[in-house]
Structure 1
């Protein structure tokens, strides 16, 4: 039987369309995978910021997840916004039950606008319940600072922070350095038992970077679903995001931080047997 490589996103909905579930599904489609979704929260937001958050009850999230897993073969999972402890527990239980091959967790804690998206008591539960179950976590600098409660202001400190997260139970960490003020961008990949790698890329001047983190983690999950090894998936995903930023940098969508151009080079849906 033939089927599509399939990725499941577990994340919040962005009514402005630039991040969250909407960005994830656009990314899956652009890279040739079939996308499925389970929504953890509804947000009222646009390019200027988040106005309100409405959490989806954990019991209903469980229904969404079980409906997908019981019917469709999932090749990779991307996890995004989670803001309550009971939602974390539901996701951990479902992952244990269905054992998807790959799990990429983007621990979304703060929106681009600065709005806090997670309850304080949830942060510790993320570390104990989801970090060990994830193939890769992809925090940005602000999120890593919240997790480790320490300053991170250089590439050397990024290396130390990524390795500290590995020591705390993560299997692999991609620490994103886009918030460092520098002419070049640096991301650090630490994998348990392997040498830490630094990815360097060109800084692209654009105000349209809303949803960049969601898009990167979704792209990594997609490339894993398509059969690429982790380091290659990270490299390919970074190239895709850079292309999407470049293609969308001169476009106006709303009055604030606009979205990437997810469909700048769409690929046909892949088919596997």
Structure 2
């Protein structure tokens, strides 16, 4: 059976993030990708210009249609808009046998636009994280989920413990938003085991969709049966290459290069 995975997220008209980035990543990792769209966005590399939530009943219908026809072994969430959409997703996933759930708590766009409501953050904490195997916040998102400021490595570790206490097994706090100019280090708390994945920081504005791509790669690897640690390490390598060899598309925060990993880095 060919591995199959689902992304539940918003559509990025610019193609660099959201379901577009997720499905490109699934394809590169040889996983058949499907989607349930939560919102339609009008955006490009310069920012988000408009957001139109998909009606909740249509979101539910998308999920039911996928459940009725496919053998899905991993699922990820991205932009979930508001509490009503999150509750719909949580209710459906609670009753589906779709394997591991990876939550990318998309809250703020690269240009600074808020993508969820305050009530939605509380609903993610209360309803979605208890169902999740992995959550992948960046530092601002981790601050919101842990309800604490993060300024030091000790803060990162404490925040991960707080988030894990909400019911999720594995917490990955990504280091892209850290104040360290030399490195981008991710902290992983997997059950009782913790470790850092350390890489040199790449100085580039071509980073649109990095979080989506990273979590999608984890999802793809888990859909194929990889262990959580192997999936995380593969995703770290995948996103590093995607950033290191940019496409230089657009006039703002350009998209990452989903073709780059394990190839000759040429289009």
Q: TM-score range by the shorter chain?
A: over 0.9
Aligned 8 A contact 2:81 2:120 in 1 = yes
CA distance in 2, matches of 1:159, 1:30: 32
Take 2:146 and 2:260, find their aligned partners in 1: how far apart are those partners? 36
Partner of 2:156: 158
| Unmatched 5+ stretches in structure 2 | none
The CA distance in 2 between the partners of 1:107 and 1:19, in whole Å, is 13
Equivalent residues in 2 for 1:158-197, closer than 5 Å: 158-182=156-180, 183-192=182-191, 194-197=192-195
Q: Check the 8 A contact 2:146/2:160 in 1, yes or no.
A: no
On the 8 A contact 2:237/2:261 being kept in 1, the answer is no
Which ranges in structure 1 are unaligned for 5 or more consecutive residues?
A: 268-273
Residue 130 of structure 1 corresponds to 128
State the alpha-carbon separation in 2 of the partners of residues 197 and 65 from structure 1. Answer: 35
Q: Is the deviation greater in 167-176 or in 102-111?
A: 167-176
Contact 1:62/1:91 (CA < 8 Å) preserved in 2? yes
The answer to whether residue 259 in structure 2 is matched with residue 263 in structure 1 is yes
- Aligned counterpart, 2:73: 75
Deviations 1:17-66 (A, max 9, x none): 10000000000001111000000001111000001110011110010011
Shift of 1:148: 2.5
CA displacement at 1:198 relative to structure 2: 1.2
Contact preservation (8 Å) 1:244, 1:263: yes
Q: Who is 2:11 aligned against?
A: 13
Distance in 2 (alpha carbons) for counterparts of 1:117 and 1:55 = 11
Q: Distance in 2 between matches of 1:131 and 1:237?
A: 21
CA drift of 1:181 comes to 2.1
Q: Secondary structure at the match of 2:114?
A: coil
C-alpha deviations, 1:125-146, integer Å up to 9, x for none? 1111100101101011011112
Stretch of structure 1 that moved more, 28-37 or 160-169: 160-169
Kindly report structure 1 stretches of 4+ aligned residues shifted beyond 6 Å.
none
Q: How many residues align?
A: 262
Partner of 1:24 in structure 2? Answer: 22
Distance in 1, Cα, partners of 2:165 & 2:186: 19
Q: TM-score, normalised by structure 2?
A: 0.95
1:64 lines up with 2:57 in the alignment: no
2:92 alignment partner, SS class: helix
- What SS does structure 1 have at the residue aligned with 2:226? coil
Moved more, 139-148 or 216-225: 139-148
Separation in structure 2 between the aligned mates of residue 189 and residue 231 of structure 1, nearest angstrom? 9
Matched with 1:202 is 200
Larger relative contact order (CA 8 Å, sep ≥ 6): 1
Root-mean-square deviation over aligned CA pairs? 1.2
Length-normalised TM-score, structure 1: 0.93
Match of 1:213 in 2: 211
Corresponding residue for residue 89 of structure 2: 91
